[in-house]
């Protein structure tokens, strides 16, 4: 271990600061570009070096006072110490960096197609409406501590919707180790748990809450389908646009701003889809399916999660649109039909076998791709695969769906 005084060069994709000394580069948590800091530097496995912040000697102009007392220890928000303007600038830099380094686009190409970051106008628009907790040994809801598997009990959290935050301390002691997902809609809070036993633990609380109105929790659902109360969310899967159904165990965008911004960018990017054949990959419970179907697209939707597909079927029937939805694992071997437009919204790991899949989609007639990404590195890799298959990137809009963190999404539009 060595002590050093350095100036932070820039922030990197994991959210850390990149610093240099005589031995090379190392990474430090909780810093801003331009900070002059004192650090202790340790060599980790496989030669990588990591610095621990000891003191900020001269703060960067990017710094602000965090609004959360857990800033140094919680694994949740890693950019609380950055001003909104600095978060915006750094996210834009991370996007450009990934496109150049991983996507192998030239800086000139990137400048031509990348749009400015869309960020929530007000902090409340960026509040998280769902969160995943692990129960600690005392039965309390906890987040993981920063860079550790340790658990940090959370009695309230300023990043969460205020009703969700207020509910955390009201729940009864839960089974240590249980995973609990909480989500809020306009009418209250629902929980999703892995185990049926956790449903039973929460049942008396729900009955008391229904009788006294002291808790906003109104339903719990287990991964095996056991439920108490009303465990369904309404309107969350569409970011408030339609009262479509989902639950706390099914993927949805965590912020209203993020959900709406992604939807709007996808709908604009897909262009006039009326009467066109549209393949939607990673459709989930219908966040993008419903507006695309309402716009007249003839949709084949593919999704791997059975629960999400059940919601999708329910939602298309509820809103009177016809979608050919099927369950399949999406990769380069996916069965394909002739298609005009493809919309894909993969998880953080990106699209498995993207390069070959895009080549096959081009052979099936696809002339437009709308690709959502929640990770610049895998998103840039997939864009490179699309370009290799003959598509050109027309526009890429970065979206700040998770203020306070290094996470950044984008919607890219490509044509052939
Ligand atoms: C980022 S979510 C997007 C869901 C939906 N578009 C939305 O906005 O709510 C990714 C979805 O892809 C599904 N998924 C992830 N990997 C998959 C794969 N290889 N094949 C099929 N579905 C997959 C997940 O179940 C999840 O519903």
Contact call for residues 380 and 103 (beta carbons, < 8 A): yes
Whole-number Å distance, alpha carbon 139 to ligand 1 midpoint, is: 31
Beta bridge mates, 278:
299, 341
- Give pLDDT tens digits for 55-85: 999 999 999 999 898 988 888 899 999 999 9
Question: What pLDDT is stored for residue 337 in this prediction?
Answer: 97
Mutate to test the pocket of ligand 1, among 285, 311, 344, 347 (most ligand atoms within 8 A of CB): 347
Question: What pLDDT is stored for residue 136 in this prediction?
Answer: 95
Whole-number Å distance, alpha carbon 191 to ligand 1 midpoint, is: 20
> How much of the chain, in percent, has pLDDT values that exceed 90?
87
Q: Is the CB of 303 under 6 A from ligand 1?
A: yes
Which residue has the CA at smallest separation from atom 4 of ligand 1?
Answer: 284
> How much of the chain, in percent, has pLDDT values that exceed 70?
100
Question: What pLDDT is stored for residue 288 in this prediction?
Answer: 98
Q: Are strands 392-399 and 232-234 parallel, antiparallel or unpaired?
A: unpaired
Question: What pLDDT is stored for residue 212 in this prediction?
Answer: 82
Q: Is the CB of 330 under 6 A from ligand 1?
A: yes
Domains, the chain: 2-63 (2.40.50.140), 89-121+253-415 (3.40.50.150), 130-235 (2.40.50.1070)
pTM of this structure: 0.95
Which residue has the CA at smallest separation from atom 6 of ligand 1?
Answer: 283
Whole-number Å distance, alpha carbon 101 to ligand 1 midpoint, is: 26
Question: What pLDDT is stored for residue 148 in this prediction?
Answer: 83
- When pLDDT is averaged across residues 242-251 and rounded to a whole number, the result is 97
Cα torsion 282, 392, 332, 98: sign: negative
Question: What pLDDT is stored for residue 64 in this prediction?
Answer: 95
Which atom of ligand 1 sits closest to the CA of residue 289?
6
Whole-number Å distance, alpha carbon 114 to ligand 1 midpoint, is: 25
Q: Is the CB of 287 under 6 A from ligand 1?
A: yes
Q: How far is CA 371 from CA 189, 381, 410, in A?
A: 31, 12, 8
- When pLDDT is averaged across residues 28-44 and rounded to a whole number, the result is 93
Q: Are strands 49-58 and 10-11 parallel, antiparallel or unpaired?
A: unpaired
Question: What pLDDT is stored for residue 159 in this prediction?
Answer: 94
Write b or e for each residue in 78-92: b if 16 or more Cβ atoms lie within 10 A of its Cβ, otherwise e.
bbbbbbbebbbbbbb
- Give pLDDT tens digits for 323-364: 999 999 999 999 999 999 999 999 999 999 999 999 999 999
Q: How far is CA 284 from CA 288, 309, 314, 365, in A?
A: 9, 7, 12, 24
Q: In the structure encoding, which two tokens stand for residue 249, read together?
A: 């165990």
Question: What pLDDT is stored for residue 88 in this prediction?
Answer: 97
**Per-residue confidence band for 166, with pLDDT thresholds at 50, 70 and 90:** very high
Q: How far is CA 283 from CA 12, 268, 310, 397, in A?
A: 30, 18, 12, 20
- When pLDDT is averaged across residues 308-326 and rounded to a whole number, the result is 97
Q: What mean pLDDT value characterizes the chain?
A: 95
Which residue has the CA at smallest separation from atom 27 of ligand 1?
Answer: 284
Q: What is the DSSP string of 165-190?
A: HHHGGGSPP--TT-EEEEEEETTEEE
Which residue has the CA at smallest separation from atom 12 of ligand 1?
Answer: 282
- Give pLDDT tens digits for 195-209: 999 999 999 888 888
**Per-residue confidence band for 367, with pLDDT thresholds at 50, 70 and 90:** very high
Which atom of ligand 1 sits closest to the CA of residue 308?
27
Q: Are strands 10-11 and 17-21 parallel, antiparallel or unpaired?
A: antiparallel
Whole-number Å distance, alpha carbon 284 to ligand 1 midpoint, is: 5
Q: Is the CB of 325 under 6 A from ligand 1?
A: no
**Per-residue confidence band for 47, with pLDDT thresholds at 50, 70 and 90:** confident
Inform me whether the pLDDT recorded for 125 exceeds 80: no
Q: How far is CA 378 from CA 79, 354, 395, 410, in A?
A: 21, 10, 17, 11
């Amino acid at each position: 271990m060595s002590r050093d005084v350095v100036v932070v060069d820039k922030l990197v994709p994991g959210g850390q600061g990149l610093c240099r000394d005589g031995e090379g580069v190392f990474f430090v948590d909780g810093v801003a570009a331009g900070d002059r800091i004192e650090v202790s530097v340790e060599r980790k496995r496989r030669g990588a070096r990591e610095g621990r912040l000891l003191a900020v000697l001269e703060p960067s102009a990017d710094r602000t006072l965090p609004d959360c007392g857990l800033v140094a220890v919680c694994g949740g928000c890693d950019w609380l110490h950055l001003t909104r303007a600095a978060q915006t600038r750094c996210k834009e830099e991370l996007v450009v960096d990934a496109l150049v380094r991983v996507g192998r686009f030239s800086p000139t190409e990137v400048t031509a197609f990348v749009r400015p970051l869309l960020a929530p106008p007000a902090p409340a628009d960026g509040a998280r409406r769902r969160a995943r907790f692990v129960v600690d040994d005392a039965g309390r809801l906890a987040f993981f501590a920063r860079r550790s598997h340790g658990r940090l009990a959370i009695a309230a959290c300023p990043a969460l919707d205020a009703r969700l935050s207020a509910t955390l301390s009201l729940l009864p002691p839960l089974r240590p180790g249980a995973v609990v997902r909480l989500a809020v809609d306009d009418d209250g809070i629902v929980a999703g748990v892995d185990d049926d036993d956790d449903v039973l633990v929460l049942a008396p609380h729900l009955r008391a809450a229904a009788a006294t109105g002291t808790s906003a929790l109104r339903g719990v659902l287990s991964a095996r389908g056991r439920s108490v109360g009303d465990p369904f969310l309404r309107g969350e899967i569409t970011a408030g646009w339609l009262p479509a159904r989902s639950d706390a165990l099914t993927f949805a965008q965590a912020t209203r701003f993020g959900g709406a911004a992604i939807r709007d960018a996808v709908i604009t990017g897909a262009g006039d889809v009326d009467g066109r054949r549209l393949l939607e990959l990673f459709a989930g419970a219908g966040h993008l399916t419903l507006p695309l179907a309402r716009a007249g697209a003839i949709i084949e939707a593919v999704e791997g999660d059975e629960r999400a597909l059940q919601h999708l079927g329910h939602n298309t029937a509820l809103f009177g649109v016809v979608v050919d939805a099927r369950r399949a694992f999406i990769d380069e071997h996916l069965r394909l039909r002739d298609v005009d437009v493809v919309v894909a919204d993969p998880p953080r790991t990106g699209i498995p076998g993207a390069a070959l899949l895009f080549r096959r989609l081009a052979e099936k007639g696809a002339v437009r791709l709308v690709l959502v990404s929640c990770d610049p590195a895998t998103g840039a890799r997939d864009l490179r695969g699309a370009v290799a298959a003959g598509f050109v990137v027309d526009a890429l809009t970065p979206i700040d769906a998770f203020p306070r963190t290094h996470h950044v999404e984008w919607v890219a539009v490509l044509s052939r």
